[in-house]
């Protein structure tokens, strides 16, 4: 069975993994059951619980048992930019692109992949990751119920029953086809290099010139490279069809309207901004802004334009718009939004908005910017949110996330006690009083290769800090810093101790050394391998019975089931003017 590589991560996930005591520790995760292809991308934070008492040494080789464990999101949401199927915000996109839909289905370009979203359930399913070629993504899609037709490079047909992709024509210059629409008999291809539209007969694949579109073209579009090392300004940049009318963007603040029966070309009235995508239905045309994120409406009968969404500086450019008669769907960065065209209200629909700022809240209502490290005193977790240089508090009983007001410059790793937080920051450790934020600096630390403090743990009298190749002891009374262990290769990511031992892992050590958790004896300096995880481990904490490990799971996702045909749509409700 073929596999599709992917990644899994979340801001804080609780993995209920409790290992039975065995003569030899045998570790596995649910993800490991499917682990065949390794790919790495640092995304954010997972929380894994690994029972570690008693912990005998682990053999470097030999079979490992596999068990299945429940995986649940504890706080925050998954904001990693990668392809992952799921419902609504549980799904992930590399980069949501052009949209098209029919009936109860919405289709979205995602790099070289084609994604399917059920409008009723918000279930996101990957049809194929091979709709494009290599690193070349798709530039437009349109479908006829049984197939999706896509541009860039060339024109491709994706069979919705099998997921197979076939090339219909390569006669459109590379990087030139921008936009595609169809009427059941013909496909209309935006030949942006020559500022024209080509027509493909679906039954035969015959390609012919259809119309040339008059300028002026968008003045801001930069030149795209062409096959003869010159460049061209692309136009049209997108196409949409409604009845016999084909609408093309790429011509400043007007659209080109092509009658598909006669080939006659006219221009729309002046719009309030330059559009980059359009959708038309029920006598209304909606368009998105090329240089911003406003959304406009054009009444086709009267030619009256208006703005239904005035833009938001916190948002990026909308790449595409499509409607189902009741709602508009907008692709933005790595997610898809749903808009009420009557009010301009926007809600999340599919994928997670990774650009959303950090927010306090309960469970999945909370948002982290870049969760970096975690420490607990029993009732709460404390998390370094490196994107904001703040420490976040997560109550284990209620899942409530709150934020400490004092910023910690360059915050990386965290340890604490009832009075202070101790945070690594470059070549120093910052002590932050929890009651009022008063800050004291210890250091500088020193590593012969690269001085950047990583893991940190304390025993009440001193801090133990891992650097790139050494482990240093930092007395809390301000006396001299000393090196207590050397010989690390690549640097342990994080450390935790129980008074006698320190536990750490190598995220960048020897080949194949990822995910290995070690025990270091403070008394003897001995180092013992105790577990191997299917993850690049970045943080470790323990409670005497368990190790809690933050990291990035590396796994694969099995092929999704074939997407059923979209249900025929009921007569769409007319969008309010």
C-alpha 29/C-alpha 146 separation (Å) is 39
Contact 109, 138 (CB under 8 A): yes
Whether pLDDT at 559 is above 70: no
pLDDT for the residue numbered 100: 96
Evaluate the CA torsion angle 444, 447, 449, 454 in order and state its sign: negative
% of the chain residues with pLDDT over 70: 72
C-alpha 542/C-alpha 540 separation (Å) is 7
C-alpha 98/C-alpha 276 separation (Å) is 11
Long-range CB pairs of 56-59 (<8 Å, 24+ gap) are: 56/23, 56/24, 56/25, 56/530, 57/528, 57/529, 57/530, 58/24, 58/25, 58/27, 58/529, 58/530, 58/531, 58/532, 59/24
Contact 232, 221 (CB under 8 A): no
Q: Which residues contact 447 (CB under 8 A, 6 or more apart)?
A: 467, 468, 469, 470
* Total residues found in the chain within this entry: 577
C-beta atoms surrounding 42 within 10 Å: 13
Stretch 416-431: mean pLDDT, rounded? 92
pLDDT for the residue numbered 433: 94
Residue with the bigger pLDDT between 25 and 329: it is 329
pLDDT for the residue numbered 476: 92
Stretch 131-157: mean pLDDT, rounded? 85
Angle made by CA atoms 572, 576, 577, in degrees to the nearest 5: 125
- Cα within 13 Å of Cα(510), Cβ side: 4
Stretch 255-264: mean pLDDT, rounded? 96
- Tokens in use for 155? 């024109």
Stretch 266-270: mean pLDDT, rounded? 96
C-beta atoms surrounding 557 within 10 Å: 17
pLDDT for the residue numbered 552: 54
pLDDT for the residue numbered 11: 44
Stretch 384-412: mean pLDDT, rounded? 88
Contact 503, 539 (CB under 8 A): no
pLDDT for the residue numbered 141: 95
The gap from C-alpha 481 to its chain's centroid, in whole angstroms, comes to 41
C-alpha 293/C-alpha 295 separation (Å) is 7
Q: What is the pLDDT of residues 280-329, one digit of tens each?
A: 998 999 999 998 999 999 999 999 999 999 999 888 899 999 999 999 99
| 3-79+360-558 and 86-350: identical CATH topology | yes
CATH topology of domain 3-79+360-558: Neuraminidase (2.120.10)
Residue identified by tokens 């029966």 is: 261
DSSP classification of residue 153 = S
C-beta atoms surrounding 317 within 10 Å: 15
pLDDT for the residue numbered 39: 27
Evaluate the CA torsion angle 220, 226, 231, 234 in order and state its sign: negative
The dihedral region occupied by 52, where left means phi > 0, alpha psi between -120 and 50, and beta the remainder, is alpha
Q: SS in 3 state form for 263-275?
A: CCEEECCCCCCCE
C-alpha 577/C-alpha 321 separation (Å) is 17
pTM of the model as a whole? 0.61
- Cα within 13 Å of Cα(34), Cβ side: 18
> Which of 65, 34, 125 lies closest to 555 in space, CA to CA?
34
Task: Look over the chain and give the mean of its residue pLDDT values, rounded to a whole number.
Answer: 77
Contact 323, 575 (CB under 8 A): yes
Residue identified by tokens 């901004």 is: 273
CATH of range 86-350; options 2.60.40.10, 2.120.10.80, 3.30.470.10, 1.10.10.10? 2.120.10.80
Residue with the bigger pLDDT between 397 and 46: it is 397
Omega before 432 cis (within 30°)?
Answer: no
> Which of 554, 552, 561 lies closest to 123 in space, CA to CA?
561
pLDDT for the residue numbered 123: 96
For residue 341, the cross-strand partners are none
Least confident window among 77-86, 479-488, 527-536, 550-559 = 550-559
Whether pLDDT at 236 is above 50: yes
Least confident window among 386-400, 476-490, 508-522, 548-562 = 548-562
- Cα within 13 Å of Cα(309), Cβ side: 26
Q: What is the pLDDT of residues 110-119, one digit of tens each?
A: 988 999 999 9
pLDDT for the residue numbered 246: 96
Q: What is the β-pairing status of strands 86-87 and 207-212?
A: unpaired
Contact 274, 290 (CB under 8 A): yes
Q: Where are the domains of the chain?
A: 3-79+360-558, 86-350
3-state secondary structure of 400: strand
C-alpha 30/C-alpha 111 separation (Å) is 28
């Amino acid at each position: 069975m073929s596999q599709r590589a992917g990644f899994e991560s979340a801001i804080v996930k609780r993995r209920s993994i409790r290992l039975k005591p065995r003569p030899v520790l045998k570790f596995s995760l649910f993800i490991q059951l499917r682990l065949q292809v390794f790919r790495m991308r640092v995304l954010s934070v997972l929380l894994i619980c690994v029972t570690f008492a008693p912990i005998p040494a682990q053999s470097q080789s030999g079979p490992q048992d596999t068990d299945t464990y429940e995986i649940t999101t504890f706080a925050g949401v998954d904001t990693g930019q990668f392809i992952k199927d799921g419902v609504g915000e549980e799904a992930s996109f590399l980069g949501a692109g052009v949209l098209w839909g029919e009936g109860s289905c919405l289709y979205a370009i995602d790099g070289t992949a084609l994604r399917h979203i059920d409008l009723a359930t918000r279930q996101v399913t990957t049809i194929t990751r091979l709709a494009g070629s290599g690193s070349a993504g798709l530039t437009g899609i349109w479908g006829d119920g049984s197939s999706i037709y896509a541009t860039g490079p060339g024109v491709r047909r994706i069979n919705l029953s099998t997921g197979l992709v076939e090339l219909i024509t390569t006669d459109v210059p590379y990087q030139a086809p921008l936009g595609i629409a169809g009427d059941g008999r013909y496909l209309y291809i935006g030949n942006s290099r020559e500022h024209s539209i080509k027509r493909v007969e679906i039954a035969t694949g015959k390609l012919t010139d259809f119309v040339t579109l008059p300028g002026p073209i968008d003045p801001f579009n930069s030149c795209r490279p062409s096959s003869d090392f010159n460049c061209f300004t692309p136009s049209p940049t997108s196409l949409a069809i409604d009845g016999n009318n084909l609408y093309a963007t790429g011509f400043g603040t007007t659209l080109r309207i092509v009658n598909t029966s006669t080939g006659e070309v006219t221009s729309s009235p002046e719009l309030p901004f330059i559009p980059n995508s359009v959708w038309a239905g029920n006598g209304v045309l909606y368009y998105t802004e090329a240089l911003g994120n406003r959304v406009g409406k054009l009444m086709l009968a009267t030619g009256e334009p208006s703005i239904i969404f005035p833009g938001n500086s916190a948002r990026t450019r909308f790449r595409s718009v499509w409607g189902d008669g009741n709602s508009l769907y907008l692709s933005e960065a790595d997610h898809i939004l749903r808009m009420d065209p009557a009010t301009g209200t926007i809600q999340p629909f599919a994928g997670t908005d990774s650009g959303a700022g950090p927010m306090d809240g309960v469970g999945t209502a909370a948002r982290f910017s870049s969760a970096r490290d975690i420490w607990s005193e029993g009732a709460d977790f404390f998390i370094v949110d490196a994107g904001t240089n703040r420490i976040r508090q997560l109550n284990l009983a209620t899942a409530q996330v709150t934020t400490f007001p004092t910023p910690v410059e360059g915050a990386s790793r965290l340890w604490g006690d009832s009075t202070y937080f101790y945070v690594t920051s470059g070549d120093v450790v910052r002590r932050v009083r929890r009651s009022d934020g008063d800050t004291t600096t210890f250091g500088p630390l020193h590593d012969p290769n690269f001085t950047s403090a990583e893991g940190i743990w304390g025993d009440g009298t001193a801090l133990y800090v891992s650097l790139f190749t050494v482990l240093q002891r930092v007395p809390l009374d301000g006396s001299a810093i000393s090196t207590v262990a050397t010989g690390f290769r690549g640097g342990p990511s994080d450390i935790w101790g129980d008074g006698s031992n320190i536990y750490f892992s190598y995220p960048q050590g020897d080949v194949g050394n990822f995910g290995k958790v070690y025990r270091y004896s403070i008394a003897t300096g001995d180092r013992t391998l105790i577990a191997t995880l299917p993850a690049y481990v970045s943080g470790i904490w323990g409670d005497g019975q368990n190790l809690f490990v933050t990291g990035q799971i590396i796994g694969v996702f099995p092929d999704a089931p074939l997407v059923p045909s979209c249900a025929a749509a009921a007569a769409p409700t007319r969008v309010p003017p």
